[in-house]
Each structure stands twice: as structure tokens, then as C-alpha cells.
Structure 1
Amino acid sequence: MRRGFRRLTAALLCAALLLLPAGCRSGPEEGKIRYVIGVSQANMREPWRLVLIRELQEEAARHPEIRLVITDATSDGEKQVEDIQRLLGYGIDLLIVSPHDVERITPVVSEVYQKIPVIVLDRVVEGYDYSLFIGPDNDLIGKQAGEAAVRLVRGSAAKVLELKGGPHSQASAERSGGFRSVTSLFPLIEIESVTVENESRDAAEDLVSAYGERLREFDVIFAHNDYMALGAYKAAHRLGCDDVKIVGIDGFTGQDGGLELIRGGRIDETITCPTGGREAIQFSLDILGKVSGVPKQVILRSHAITRENVDSYERQLDRATRPVDRTIRVGYAQVGTESGWRLANNQSIRDAAREFGIDLTAIDADNDQQAQLEAVREFIRQRMDVIVISPIVDSGWDEVLMEARDAGIPVLLSDRKISVAEDDLFMTFIGADFIEEGRRAMRWTAANVPADKHPVRILEIQGTVGATPTIERKRGFEMLLAEHPDYSIVYSAGGDFTREGGRLVVGQYLREHAWDIDVIYSHNDDMALGAVDALEAAGIQPGRDVKIISVDGTKEAVKALEEGRLNCVVECSPLLGPQLMKAVTDLMSGKELPLRIITDERVFTAQTPREELRGRKY
């Protein structure tokens, strides 16, 4: 590749793009630039996106070996496609894209991903054809805003005016849904929603002003960004409605940013919505430098900011990290040894602890939640620095996690999520996107098992009842199943993630029914292999007479795939140790952890090249 020429081309382009805000600052001599990163921004009108660009540029300025080339799609999906093609023509090494129209941009991102790494910001595209997604959890942000509104009215009867984005705004829809999921628990809270098409301060001010005296009916205004919140404040103040409470979203620093609005008493609460700009540059360097352990998704943490905590929050933004000068002690409450996946997962965590110099104490709960709860309490008694839990089921954790919080011991979740009443009871989740795994399984089914001759009948083997992988793999599968009326799950039973469990489920079906199943969807490899055992014992040829899809990607399942006894294996990597131990050291050094860190995973089929299947570590 004519890398030097491409560098010069991109550098000359930077000089030509002076209309863009500091997209190419003065920096090192051209010969010292190692990487050119293209940035395709949805628009440069929204304040949130301007902050994103600023953070990208500020972080890039710390790395003289890179150069940014930035384009503005001006909220035009077709222009964004053209911008990306133009950036590719300049020979960029990596693309950062913040989509305007997710549906339009998804196939473009997929095509680019076949050539160079792609980082997607803010709005995730369909599927997994990208290197990394960094963004907020807009549903959670909406829930936090809902909790703020409930606090401000003390859960009593109230009327809320919601200022939201246009109908094509995915973020706005998710925030609104999250908000209502909280307020719906309080039947005396009524919501009136209005759309602010360009989500600007002036448009919000005009819209709220038009309410006139009727604005006095409202107790709270919930604006989907702080700039609309400021416009709402100006209108309310001019109308003499100073008693109305205002909740915004973004929480940026600087003039008219959410933090200053809080300090000045112009709004009552804001929920932070980080842009991910700094993280995008940092991960770009990791990806281009081929650093191992880069996740597939990083879901950023959001905070509720009030006058009581605004100063401490801003001080924390500027807090420098500190080196850890002692051995970190970690207690790990593991599930057990119920499957090949779990054995590989436990070994990965032990190996990574040694590599990071961490003193790891592991207690095996043998699939007993009570034993796992006692393990956590033992770690609290031992005053561990950090506790890691791979929870057996998703409920029943609040009490012990409150005990850990009271003891000042942070808790990280590995592999499985939990449901808790308070979001701050654990620091982060590191593991797979189980919903996407289910979606991938159904996506393969729809593409490879046609329903042209008769409806497709599916037998589902679920994992442990109440476990997050079971709940979410089923949910993800059924999300796409609902789009295909000729496909249906006709039988579903739990196999407890064990080979014997899978054998028993299929055996039970064979005893009760004549064999009429087209597809078996198993929530893990061990159960799928148990199903294979039962089918072969009954004279049914797995992989041919019935298609079998499993989740995990263990060596034995991959071998069965090569032999034609399984048809599709959705990977769920157990090798979480390096990311987990890095999160532990980052936490102990003072870094804020993201809300979720999702691992990179693939789909293996008969078409997957053999060299990609061999040499796997589990």
C-alpha cells in the first residue's frame, strides 16, 4: 500500500477542510503521522455532537502520531454515505462514525468493516459488523430522569411536560420509554409529550412559551437535552412559572452546560450523557496497535446531578489516576464447573489474575446461590479490595450487595447480569450481549431453514431458570422470531446448561411426540451436545434430519460443527479474565468504569474456514 502517499493526501485534505471546527489541528511533521482516522459525524448542529467533536480533537491532540479528518453529514443520510466513501478514498486507517440514519448506514458500515476497523458512536447499527460500539444506555438515562421527576414531586400527583426529539430519533424514543417505565409506577403522575424537531434551545423556548398560562398546570418539565431545558427555563421564567421543576440530559461543563445550569438554579437536575469521544480515540489506538482484549461494546455510565453533588462530580472529572503500589486482593464468587465453557472461564480469570499480579481468592458455589451469597459475605469479612460475582441467577442480590457497599467494597459482575433495586450496587458488568446472541441464532435460522414448504417447528433447550443468559438469549431469539410468522417454538424446556440436561429434554420430547422438529435452539453447547446424543440414540441424524444451533463456541462444539452434527455455533467467549482484571486495576487506580463492557464474539457455521476454527483456547 502507498501509505506515505495516503498520509500526504489526508494531510492535504485537512488543510482543505478549514470550515470544520479544528478537525486537523497543527501538529507533528507529516512524516511522523502513523495513522489517519476518519470521523463521519451525523451533524455539527446539535450541541451534544459539537461536544463529541471537541472531545475527539482534545484526545487526539495528546497523540501526535494520529491525524483526524472530520466530515459533517448535515443530518442527511445519503450525504453521510457519500462522506464515508470519500473518507475511504483518502486512505484512512480507521473510521469513527456517529450515524444519522441507522437503517441506511448499517450496510455501509458492514461493507467498510470488511476493509478497515470501524468504531460506531452513540447509535448502534444492526448486527455486529463493526470493531467497537461506544455509547450511552439511553433507556437507563430515561429511567434516571424518571426517578429524578418522581423525587422532585415526592411521588405525589403531578403533571409532567416532556420535550422530546423527533420521531426518527432512536435516542429520544429510548429515553422516553425509560422515563415512562418509572413514572408508570406512580399512577398519579400524568405526562404530556411534545416534539421539538431540531431539539434546540430556541425551539424549546418558543414551544414552552406558547403554553402561556396553561404552563402553570405542569409541575415538572423533562427535556431530552440540557439546551432544551435551558429554553424551557427561559420561557417558564418569563411566564412567571418559576415553581416548575426542570430535568435535563447531558451534564456538560462550560457556559450554559448542564452543570452550570444546575449551579445557577435554572434547572433542578440533569442526567449525564457522555459522548465517548475520548474513549473512541483511546480504543482507536488499541485497535490499530492490535492490542488484545478490545471489547465489542462499551456502554458508558451516566450520573444524576443535583445542586448537592455537582461540585464533587466536576472535581471527579478532573481527578488524576493514581498508580496502585500494592497487591490488589480480589474475591471471586464463581458459579461452579457445570460446563466446558465455565471451566475455560474460571481458568481465564485465574490466568489473568496471575498476569496482572492480583491476589485472587475464588470460591466455587457449585450452582448454589446460597453458597454464592455466603462467599460474598466471606469476602466482605476478609476486607477484599474488590469482589467479582458471576451470579447463578439474576435476583436475590440486593441485601448482600448493600452489605458490600456499606463496607466500601466495590462489586463487579462477570458473565451474567442481575436485577437490583439500586443501580449503584455494582460497578460494571463484563460479558456477552446475550440478547444479540439469541438474535444471531434466529437470524441464522431464518436465513438457512426455509419455511417455503411448511412452517418451521423449533425445539428450544433453555439454560438455568432465572439465569440472565437464559432470559436474554430467549428474549433475543423471540424478538426476531416475531418477525417471521412461519417459524414457531413448539416445545421449550430447561436443561440447566448441562449435557445431561440437553439429553433429557430431547429424550422427553421423543417419548411424548412423534419426531417433527426442524430446528433445535440450545442455549449452550453442552446441552446441544446432549441433544445430539439423544438424537443419535433414537436413529435421528443431527445436523441433517434436524438443524441444531448452539451458543458458546467450545472446542467440542466446534468439532461437532466440522463433523456436520451441529449447524451453527454462536460464540460466547469465556475468556473474560484479561478484561476483568484490567477493569479491577483501572478501578483501583481511580478510573471510572463504564456501565457495561461487552465482549467480541462471532458466528461459526459450516462455511467458516477451518483455520479459523482450529487452535481455539477453549
Structure 2
Amino acid sequence: MKTLQLLISKSVAGAIMFLSIALILAGCDRKAARTSAGNEGGRKKVVGFAQMENNGPWRIAETKSMRDEAAKRGYELVATDAQTQTSKQISDVEDMVARKVEAIFLAPREFEGLDGALAVAKQAKIPVFLIDREAAGTPGQDYVTFIGSNFVEEGRRVGEWTVKNTNGAAGIIILEGTAGSSVALDRNKGFLAAIKSSPDMKILASQPADFARATGQKVMENLIQAHGKKITVVYTHNDEMALGAIQALKAAGMNPGKAVKVVSVDGQKSALEAIIAGDLNVTVECNPRFGPIAFDTYEKYLRGEQIPPKIIVPDKFFDSSNAAQFVAEAY
């Protein structure tokens, strides 16, 4: 009888212990379910954002978007500023690897030259996501994917508008972005392809102005001295250079937006305001707010989902017909 009572007692104790463990595990599961993707067990995931620079509205808006989205999802974001130096950007990525961040978002300054940094991250098994600009390498091997706009398409859309609105005849100045960057190469490629079949669309000069307003103004001043009234179109690879070119054209009495058509890419607020004022003719949007799609893509990667080699963000086209409609939401 005592043996039977002992067996029953042990069985009850075992059942109670099993139930307690089950309840604890269930509680842990519920806690995990409540934890954001960037916060595991109360510990924030640390991810890096290697920005190329923070000296213009577009870059500032991009960095803010990444910071805001990281905070929203519970990540700790290590953000660096390469200050327009590829060598520093390489060092920034290597520092992130040494810190053992769990992912790196990289906005490449140049297409070439970052292969060493990508290799260091790959060796450390840290996934790299390229945003807004491409870099040499193979998606799925050297980096996970590229997230950004179709830069060739941006240039093509501007070029097609220019051909149509000049009746296929113009003296064109091109202000290029950072030499060697994928965005400058592709925006040029798209524009030149669009005007190729119009032999009276003449390129008078094409010079880098490094995506900067002050540089754009200075380069435009020099080109006005060289080409004067032959200039009837100015195509710039971003709005900051366009705004600088507009100032140079005004100073020379060349009536930008009317006598000289000014066309651009980016879609920043000051550019839309210039369209409304009649100084700028068109700009194709290149949205800098990459935070949501960048972190969505990273979290899909963490879940083991298939990530495409390129994720293209759709962009709007702004001219006098819709600039006022969108100016309030522009960056």
C-alpha cells in the first residue's frame, strides 16, 4: 500500500513539474512574439549604416529615414559619414565588422573600390545591403541586394521630355554627379539614349559638379563663358546642381526655365518650388526615404525569404502640372 501511494505521489509531482515547465515555455513564446525584430530578449540588434556624406538635403533625408525606422523597430543603428571619401567609407565598413554588427546598409560613394570592404563583411558573415547606389560585385554573393531607383530610366525620362519640348533641337550642357558613381553613369546613359535619334540635340559640354549646389553654380558660370547663347538646355544629375546652375543662368541674364530649359533628377522640395516659380522645368523623383524598405528587406532575409538581386523603387515625374500638388510632402 505504501509503495502504491509513493508511486501516485511521484506521478502527481511529475505532472505538476511538466505543467510548470510548459507554462514557462509558453510565457517565453508569448514574450518572444511581443519582441520586435530588432530587439531579441531585451537586447537590441546592432546594425550599421555606412553613409557616403551628409552635406545635402537628399543625403540628410536618407540618413534620417534610416535612423527613424531603426528606432521604430527597436534596432540600434550605428551610422557613419564618409564625408565624400571612399577611403573613409571603406574604413567605416571595416570598423562596423570589427564591432560585429549584425547587418550593414551601405550607400556606396563610388561603383568601384569597395570590393575589399565587401569581402571583409562577407568573411565575417555579415550581410550587406546596398541602398541608393550600386557597387561592383555580384548580388547574393558579395552583397545581398541593391535597393534603389532605376537611374537609367530616370535619365531616359528626362531626355524624352527634353526632345519633345525642344522639337528635337538644342544646345545641351550636362552637369554630372560624382565621377565614377553608378548613379552618374546611369543617369547619363539614359539621357543620351533618349536623345540619340535626334541629331540636332547637341552636347556642348559635360562636366562633373559632384552633386553640389555651389560646385554646380561655379561649373555653370565657366560653361556660360565658353558657350554663351548656344546653351538652350541644362541637364543636371541632381537638383542641387540644377539650383546652382539656375543661379548662374540668372546672373548671366539667360532666363532659366524659359530661354534655357533646366531639367533634373531628385524631386527635392526646393526643386519643386523652383518649378512652381518657373525657373526649373522638370525633375524626376529619386525618393531618399529608404528606411522602411531597407528594414523590410533585412527582416525578410532573416526569415529566410528569397531576396531578389535588385529591388527597384518607383519614382514620380514632376513638372508644372503637378509640382504644387506634391511640394508639401517633398523632402
Contact 2:53 2:82 in 1 (8 A): yes
2:247 matches 1:533: yes
Alignment of 1:70-89 (within 5 A): none
Instruction: Report Cα offsets for 1:436-482 as digits up to 9, x if no partner.
Output: 0000010111121113xxx3111100001001110000011111121
Match of 1:613 in 2: 326
| CA shift for structure 1 position 594 | 1.4
Which residue, out of 507, 518, 523, partners 2:221?
507
Aligned to 1:382: 99
| CA-CA distance at 1:421 after TM superposition | 6.6
CA distance in 1, matches of 2:194, 2:140: 29
Counterparts of 2:244 and 2:165, CA distance in 1: 23
Report matched runs for 1:392-471 at 5 Å: 392-420=109-137, 424-451=141-168, 455-471=169-185
Mapped partners of 1:513, 1:480: distance in 2: 23
Q: Which residue is equivalent to 2:293?
A: 579
Q: How far did 1:397 drift?
A: 1.6
| Residue 343 (1) aligns with residue 60 (2) | yes
Describe the SS at the equivalent of 2:229. coil
Question: Contact 1:460/1:520 (CA < 8 Å) preserved in 2?
Answer: yes
Aligned-partner Cα distance in 2 for 1:398–1:609: 40
Question: What's the TM-score, normalizing by structure 1?
Answer: 0.46
CA 1:533–1:557: 2 relative to 1, 3 Å:
same
Residue-by-residue CA offset, 1:584-603 (whole Å, 9 max, x unaligned): 22222222221111112111
Q: Deviations over 1:232-272 (max 9, x none)?
A: xxxxxxxxxxxxxxxxxxxxxxxxxxxxxxxxxxxxxxxxx
Aligned-partner Cα distance in 1 for 2:139–2:268: 35
Residue 511 of structure 1: how far off its partner (Å): 2.2
Find the counterpart in structure 2 of residue 492 from structure 1.
206
Deviation digits for residues 170-207 of structure 1, max 9, x if unmatched? xxxxxxxxxxxxxxxxxxxxxxxxxxxxxxxxxxxxxx
Output one character per residue of 1:109-166: Cα deviation in whole Å (capped at 9) or x when no partner: xxxxxxxxxxxxxxxxxxxxxxxxxxxxxxxxxxxxxxxxxxxxxxxxxxxxxxxxxx
Gaps of 5+ in 1: 1-322
**CA offset at residue 617 of structure 1?**
4.0
Does structure 1 retain, via aligned residues, the 8 Å contact 2:108–2:130? yes
**Structure-to-structure mapping, 1:286-305, within 5 angstroms:** none
Alpha-carbon contact 1:330-1:386 (below 8 Å) kept: yes
Check if 1:554 corresponds to 2:271. no
8 A contact 1:398–1:421 mirrored in 2: no
Name the SS of the counterpart of 2:205 in structure 1: strand
User: Does 2:280 match 1:563?
Assistant: no
CA shift, 1:609, in A, is: 6.1
Q: Secondary structure at the match of 1:413?
A: strand
Structure-2 separation of matches of 1:609 and 1:504: 27
The Cα shift of 1:433 comes to: 0.5
Q: 2:105 aligns to what SS in structure 1? A: strand
Match of 2:305 in 1: 591
C-alpha deviation, 1:398, in angstroms: 1.5
Alpha-carbon separation, structure 2, partners of 1:479 and 1:328: 45
Per-residue CA deviation, residues 479-519 of structure 1 (Å, 9 max, x unaligned), is 11212222121211010000011101211112223321111
How many Å separate the matches in 1 of 2:136 and 2:53?
A: 21
User: Residue type of the partner of 1:438?
Assistant: G
Corresponding residue of 2:85: 368
CA distance in 1, matches of 2:327, 2:176: 28
User: Are 1:542 and 2:256 an aligned pair?
Assistant: yes
Which secondary structure does the structure 1 equivalent of 2:194 belong to?
A: helix
1:604 is matched with 318
Work out whether residues 140 and 309 of structure 2, in 8 Å CA contact, stay in contact via their aligned partners in 1. no
Q: Which amino acid aligns with 2:82?
A: A
For 2:323 and 2:93, the matched residues in 1 are separated by 43
List structure 1 runs of 4+ shifted beyond 6 angstroms: none
CA offsets 1:34-76 (integer angstroms, 9 cap, x no match): xxxxxxxxxxxxxxxxxxxxxxxxxxxxxxxxxxxxxxxxxxx
Give, as a single letter, the amino acid of the residue that structure 1 aligns with 2:160. R
Q: Is the 8 A contact 2:272 2:323 kept in 1?
A: no
SS of 1:533's equivalent in the other structure is: helix
Separation in 1 of the partners of 2:64 and 2:262?
28
| Cα distance per residue 1:512-537 (max 9 Å; x no partner) | 23321111000000000000111111
Name the CA distance, whole Å, in 2 between partners of 1:572 and 1:549: 14
Q: Deviations over 1:293-338 (max 9, x none)?
A: xxxxxxxxxxxxxxxxxxxxxxxxxxxxxx9561322111101123
The residue matched to 2:175 in structure 1 has which SS?
Answer: strand
Deviation of residue 614 (structure 1)?
Answer: 2.8
CA RMSD of aligned residues (A): 1.5
